[in-house]
Structures are given as C-alpha cells and as structure tokens.
A and B are shown apart, each in its own frame.
Chain A
Amino acid sequence: MNSLFFHTLLLVYLGASILHILFLTTGNQTVTKFAYWLTVGGFVLHSAFILLRWQHAGHLMAHWYDSTSFLAWAIILIYLCIAHLTHLHTIGVFVVPAAFIATLVAYTLQTQENTAIPTYLQNYWLIAHSSVIFLAYAAFIAAFGFGLMYLIEEKKIREKQHTLIFNLLPALGRSDEIGHKCILVGVILMTMGILIGALWTQYVKEIKWTWVDSKVIFTIATWLIYVLQLSIRQILGWRGRKTAYSAIVGFAAVLFTYVGVNLFLPSIHAF
C-alpha cells in the first residue's frame, strides 16, 4: 500500500514538475493549467495518505520519513495558496520539484517506518510543534523560489534580453513583494513552532528544555537571519536583490538546520 502510494505520488509530482518547467520553456498556457491540476491531484492524494497513516500508526511526524513526507505536502500546500491568491503559477517551477525531491527522500527513508516510537512522542505536542515548523520551512522554500525568480528576471532586464522567460516571470516588484510576504508568514509560523516546542518541555517531564541542543541553536540562528532581514528591510528599505539574496542564505540555513544538524551534530531532535 505504501509503495504503491509512493510510486503514484512520485510520478504525479515528477509529472507536475516537468509540466511546470515545460511551461517556462514554451509559454503554453494549456501546459500550466495541466501542471496546476496535476499538482492539485497530487495534493489530494498526499493529504489522504497522511490522514490514513496517522490513523493507522497512531502517531504523525515521529520519523524523518513522516516528517519529510509532511514537508513535501506543506510545500505543495503553500504553492497552491500562492497560486490561488496571486495567480502566479510560475513559482511552481521552483517549488514543485522541491516537493518532488522531499517525497523522493521520504521514499528512501521508508525503512524507518516501523521503528518503535516512545509514547511521550505520541501526542499532539509533537504534531503541533513540527507541523508548524515545517509549514514555516515550506514558506521559506517559496521565498527562496521568489528570490531566484527575482534574480533571473533582474538579470534579463539588465542584459536587455526580452526572451520568453522574461515575459513569463513575474515583475520584479511582485516577486519581491510576495517573497517578502512568504518570509513574513514563515517567521510567524516559526516563532509559533519554537514557542510550542518550549511549552512542550514545560508540560512533559521526559523532555527538558535546553539551549545547548544543536537543533535549537541552529533553528534560532535561522530564525534570526529572517528576522534581521525583515528589520533591515523595514528600516533601510532593503528590497530587490538584497531580499533575494537573504532568501537564499535563509534557505541554506533552513536546509542545514533540517538536514545538516542531524547528519553532523548530536541532538535530541530526531529530525
């Protein structure tokens, strides 16, 4: 059941990624419609699977495996929100492949599926804490996508080359503005996630709050990067290229906090 699901979902996300990229190389509006609806289909399938798994296993987000799958789902959720609110489907070119990669990683981690989960992790604290943090990650990935789109479009404008990509990518002001909003949403979610995590340690005796956990340190560092960027934008009017670069730096920090810390540093966080 799991592998059938994963194979289908991987195919759907791969197809949607290819269609999104195809749109950027051909400009065919029909392709973008297909790409969008295929992604919607993948999202529905993915949501159903997460719910089923939750019901079946009795816990959610207790493994790398589950959490990465959730991250992919969150990325798609953010993409659909952006597409719905702004009609900017081009962001799909950057984020749908990211969701595909996350799903692929989850697929390779499937073996973890049956490891025993301590009971103190089988509760809503874990679900609230990590799902909010992962939604924040997804928003930061979208901001990263907008940063890339900004830089490409700016390059095209400076080179005075009005190619197809120039026509299809959103205006500089728009990429900048929506990217900024994604960061704002991400920071709010991340703040909530950190607070939930801190409260959790107060109520559950098996987990002690600690500042020296590497995951906590890097999470806070990542959070600071974004907060700093937002403040400077507010005060000095940083925008455009600088926002784009900080979205990329922030994304690198997210990636390290999520993956790097667990590979290279010890932590009480399993993921």
Chain B
Amino acid sequence: MNQIVTVGTSHHVAPLDFRERLSFSENQLTDAFQLLAEHPDVREAAILSTCNRVEVYAVTHSEDGCDVLSDFLSNYHQIKLQQLGKFTYSHQNLDAVHHLFNVTASLDSMVVGEPQILGQVKEAYAQSLAAGATGNVLNRLFTKAISVGKRVRTETNIAAGAVSISYAAVELAKKIFQSLEDKTVAIIGAGEMSELTAQHLVKNNVSKVIVANRTYQRAVDIAKKFNGIPLAYDADLSFLVEADIVISSTDAPHYLIDRPALAEIMRQRKHRYMFLIDIAVPRDIDPEVDKVENAFLYNIDDLETVVASNLKDRGQEAEIAIQIVKEEVAKFHTRLQILEVNPIIKALHQQFQGVASKELETCLDKAQLNPKQQKMVEAMTQSIIKKLLHQPTAHLRQIALNPDLIGTVNDANDDYVQYVHALHEIFGLEQTAGTNDVEE
C-alpha cells in the first residue's frame, strides 16, 4: 500500500544552526527532486524549506517510508542518522496530512496566525509541481492544505491583531487614518523602539519623516536611516503642526507636550487627526492630551496591553482553527480512500466492457440487424453491465470508507487488502502498476 510520509524539522525541535544545515536552496531543490525521483520506493515528493522549517513530503511504496526520507536527508546533507533523528520529526499517512494542515493553518508557526507560511507552502508546492515531483496524491494533499489554510484565515480571526509593539502602533495608525500614504511622522528623541516603529511606518509609505533631537548631529544621524528631515529641537513645538503621527521617546524628566499646547497645534492644523505615541519613561506627553478632539494618545503601557490581549485572542481563535483542521483531515481521509478503490472499480468496468464488446461484435455480425435494432441490442448490453456492476461498485466504495464492514476478526485494514486481492484473483483483473494513476 502507498503511504504518505513526511520527515522534517522546525523551530519546535531544532536550533537554527541545525535547520540551516537541513535547508534546501533553490539550486539544490532541482537535484534533490532528481534524487528522490530516482529512488525506487518514492512515487511522489515535495519539499518545503523556509527559515523556520524544512520538511520533505513523499508518497512511498514501502512500509517504512519515513526511513526512506530520513536516509535521503542524511545522505543529501551529510548528517549522521542518529543526529538527524534527534532534531527531526516524522509522520505518516493521516498524521502527515494533519501535520501539513496544521502548518498551512499557521498553528505550527512560532507566532500562531502569522501570514507568511501559507505563501511559503504555495511557493514550495509550485516548485515541486514544476519539477514534476508531485503526483496525484500530493497534488491533492497540497491543494487541500492550501485551501485549509485559507479557510482558517477567513473563518477565524487567528491572524487579527498585531503581536508586537511597533506593529500595534502601525495598526492603530491605520485604524485612525486608513492609509498612511500622504502622512508625516515626527520622531522626538531617539531609541530603538521609536526607530523600529518609524521603520514600519515608512514601509507603509508615509510620505515624510521629521527627526527632532536636542543635538542636531544626532538628529542628522537618525534622519539618514529614513531619508528624513533632521531638526534641532528646543521648546518650540511648531513642527508638530504638520505631523500626523508623533513618536516621542526623550529622556526629559517632565512633559514636553501638554494639553493647551496640543489644542493650539490642533487648531492650527484644522483638527486633522493626530496620533501620538509616547514610548518614553518617564512620559513625554501629558495624558490629558488624549482628551483633545481628534488627537489620540497611546503610551507604552497601552500598547503592551493591546499586544497582550491580541495574543490571548489568537490563542482562542486557534482553538477554532484546530477544530477546522480536524474536520478537514477527516474529509481528506475519505477522499483518499475513495481514491484507493477507484482503480479496481475501473478495472472491473473495463473487464466487463471488453467481454461485452467482443460478444456484441460477433453477435451483430451474424444477426444482420437493422440500425434501430442494433442500437437496441447495444443499449441493452450497456444496461446489463451497469446493473451487474452497480452493487459491487457501491459495495467497494462503502468498504473503502469503512473496512470494518468486511466483518472478520482480523485487523480491518489487512482484511481490506486481502479483500481487494481476492477481487483481482476472482475476476482475473490485471494488477495496475500504481493504484493512484487513475483520475476520479
């Protein structure tokens, strides 16, 4: 029987340096697929290689498909099997399916709900497909896995909510302005967090960055990173009139911006929205500022609370995603089993058709029927075949879904194999080379 197997490593089980050794570069993929294709036991293969995980998926003839893949990885990357075993996991059949579905649903990611993995799986599948490494089973598996990933993202809020402070700030800015495209950012003071936030904002196309610092040279240094405008800042806040987003992180011991000052600035900028982010401790901006109309103030605690609550929400959404994955694995299981039994059904039909058409030919030769009568005889033959095969076909599909129906005392799956074998014997069906070459 064919097996779906996977052997791989991820951030869950291996440190970065091991994952690096196991990874496949774009160039390596070609010979890796070549080697897998030449392997007598491997029917289909696909390779997923990202910075957080390396996984090889395959459909194999042999019972020990996982060992085949481990040997392959060990040979290819020159890593001892023993070490490989320590830092990899392997799954077969439904567990392998379940694992891949978990991966595309981003349930196996470092940050649950992160968006990249789905694209990475799509890319990996496209490469494996282009290399001709995949076949009927893996094509179905990956297509389904990708659709499961999409389903989880549309039906749950697993990807909602920023999970880092700088992203939370960007997300908030988008919730105020919608688009950041023509917006101006002012950074007051310096600091890693404020620069990181500014970087994310620049990535979201803010049009202008003003960097204000007590020392002009410092402002120039920071401004270089964002193509910004440096400014020596003293007590004058007038540059804030054109700022839509203000990030403040000075080490001033008192408030730089208080409510009356900001109210005046807001009046000058015709009450266009302003988003102020106070990352400084002690704070730079008087909390009263949040009461000014169309001005919105968040300090570091507020942002941290947002992140914590988003993480908690993702955890809850993950519970729903786990259920979806389970459901989809069960559905896929059914499809796989029907897929297994299809070649037998097809062989049976071919067998019957072959006999019928031979007999029909002889009969029609002798009988000298007119065209209408000929048609009637042909239709009757078809109808007989259909009726004869209806019951066995239905029954085969049924036991494929539920081998227990065979009703013996042994392991149901073993029985199933023997049952199919017996069918071949009784009807003298030709053994098809692979059970999966036939379309549904």
- Contact residues of A with B, CB < 8 Å? 27-30, 153, 157-158, 160-162, 164, 166-167, 170-174, 177, 236-242
Contacts and interface: CB of A to CB of B under 8 A. Distances in A.
B176 A167 contact: no
B174 A171 contact: yes
Interface stretch (B216-224, B270-278, B352-360): B270-278
Interface of B: 154-157, 160-161, 172, 174-179, 270-273, 290, 293-294, 296, 298, 302, 305-306, 309-310, 313
A164 to B, nearest CB: 7
A172 B273 contact: yes
Nearest to A31: B155
A237 B266 CA distance: 11
Contact of B176 (A29, A160, A171): A171
A167 B156 CA distance: 13
A237 to B, nearest CB: 3
B178 to A, nearest CB: 4
Contacts of B156: 28
Given A171-B174, A173-B176, A173-B177, A162 B310 contact: yes
A29 B175 contact: no
A162 B309 contact: yes
- Of A162, A171, A242, chain B has the most CB atoms within 10 Å of the CB of A162
A239 B272 contact: yes
Contact of B270 (A30, A177, A236): A236
Contact of A28 (B154, B176, B313): B154
Contacts, number: 67
A237 B177 contact: no
A49 B60 CA distance: 62
A240 B155 CA distance: 32
B412 to A, nearest CB: 36
12 contacts: A28-B155, A157-B175, A157-B176, A157-B296, A160-B306, A164-B160, A171-B174, A171-B175, A173-B176, A239-B271, A239-B272, A240-B271
Given A167-B157, A177-B178, 4 more contacts: A28-B154, A29-B154, A162-B310, A164-B160
Contacts of A153: 175
A161 B309 CA distance: 9
Contact of A173 (B154, B178, B298): B178
Contacts of B309: 161-162
Contacts of A167: 157, 160-161
Nearest to A153: B175
Contact of A237 (B176, B272, B302, B313): B272
